[in-house]
Homo-oligomer: A and B are copies of this chain.
Amino acid sequence: MEHETGKLMYNLTKDLFPICRSITGNGVRDTLKILQTIIPLKIIEIPTGKKVFDWTIPKEWNIRDAYILDTEGNKIVDFKKNNLHVVGYSIPIDTVLSLDELQKHLFSIEEQPEAIPYVTSYYKENWGFCISHNQRQTLKKGFYKVYIDSELKQGHLTYGELILPGKTTKEIFLSTYICHPSLANNELSGPVLTAFLAKWIQSLPREFTYRIIFIPETIGSIAYLSENLYSMKQNIVAGFNITCVADNKDYSFLPSRYGNTLADKVAQHVLKWRQPNYKTYSFLERGSDERQYCSPGIDLPVVSIMRTKYTEYPEYHTSLDNLDFISSEGFEGAFNIYKECIKILEKNAFYKTTVLGEPQLGKRGLYPSTSIKRSSDSVRTILNFLTYADGTNDLIDIADFIRLPALELIPIVDKLIYHELISKIF
């Protein structure tokens, strides 16, 4: 079936879409519980007030209802219809205001008059409503009742973690975020694809250990790093911040701070061969948790492979980033790219020939016995592989030298190891 996994991912997104997530609160817990139906996530809670690097875990926010009534008592804005209508972290309110006063608490986008914007105010207490600009234009002079049934309390920041042990303690790291309400590409595509990737990784024999986390953006990665930095710096060899992976447009790549890590190498290698039109952004255009992972002193090898990058599509952070904006096909394409990265990383190592000069392939059945004009492609690939398997190049380097996708070299690696013509040096 075409895009089978893509369809499963799309369906899971549909289930998660209505939940009102934020950086803390029950929306995050509900989301993680649904993800636990796919993978055995461990759920961890960090208390409000805890110091994490330069930051402090904020109060936990929960919301039950919110609306605006006009003078005639019509519910003109209703949180239950779209959770984007309320500014994230709005404090409770129950009052009547003139239109002028209300305007100070309304957010809309003039250039996108149909869209409800996504707005938050995590670190300054405030309240507000987000509506389409079209609707805002229709508001008449008069008084409005505003009601937000929310709560800011000493509570917890909640996140999910899955550790899948491998042969070595060296780790591949996957991070994705679960702090946005009903937004599809940014963000739900991230945790959904990550969950399916984790499920597939679970089924693999693994060279590497996998550290996979589902966290609120920024404060979540800061909190996670502050608790795990030592072992992360010790072990992580490549990592991916997974977001915006389900629209069906071109591919994008956001490098690490200097663009020189193993994660950058494998991502660009795979994209170059599979999606040659992919767009590379500058690290200056970052905007997600690589802001923490790649910051000075943390310096983790983390990149993002995306479909259309956050902030680069008009639907971003509005009600237009909805279930119509994403597709099974979009999901499936990104899923395959990430799988190929992981397959290559699992086999990536520095290889070294065991004999001096070219080995005699013929006596091992690897060479056609009668030579005419020039040797065959497969023989050349073997000899080319051996030539750059000098202990200074890893699998991806060798693939780049010999101008082939690393994935295609994996059977050759296996064959040469079987014949003891190469050994893995580290």
Q: Which residues of A contact B (CB under 8 A)?
A: 53-55, 87, 107, 117, 119-121, 123-124, 126, 128, 218, 221-222, 225-226, 229, 257, 283-284, 287, 291-292, 294-299, 311, 316-317, 352-353, 355-360, 362-363, 369-374, 380, 383-384, 386-391, 401-403
Contacts and interface: CB of A to CB of B under 8 A. Distances in A.
Given A284-B402, A357-B54, A360-B55, A295 B387 contact: yes
Q: For the complex of A and B, list the 7 residue pairs with the smallest distance between their C-beta atoms, beginning with the closest.
A: A296-B390, A124-B369, A54-B355, A54-B359, A292-B357, A53-B357, A121-B370
A295 B403 CA distance: 18
Contacts of A128: 370
Contacts of A383: 291
B119 A370 contact: yes
Nearest to A296: B390
A405 to B, nearest CB: 15
Contact of A371 (B53, B119, B369): B119
A371 B372 CA distance: 68
A282 to B, nearest CB: 8
A423 to B, nearest CB: 12
A121 B369 contact: yes
Given A87-B370, A373-B316, A229 B356 contact: yes
Nearest to A380: B284
A384 B120 CA distance: 23
Contacts of A357: 53-55, 221-222, 225-226, 292, 295, 298
Given A355-B54, A357-B53, A357-B54, A387 B257 contact: yes
Given A54-B359, A225-B357, A371-B120, A391 B296 contact: yes
Contacts of A123: 360, 362-363, 369
A56 to B, nearest CB: 8
Contacts of A53: 355-357
Contacts of A363: 123
A222 B372 CA distance: 21
A51 to B, nearest CB: 11
A107 B372 contact: yes
Contacts of A297: 353, 356, 390
B370 A117 contact: no
A298 B370 CA distance: 27
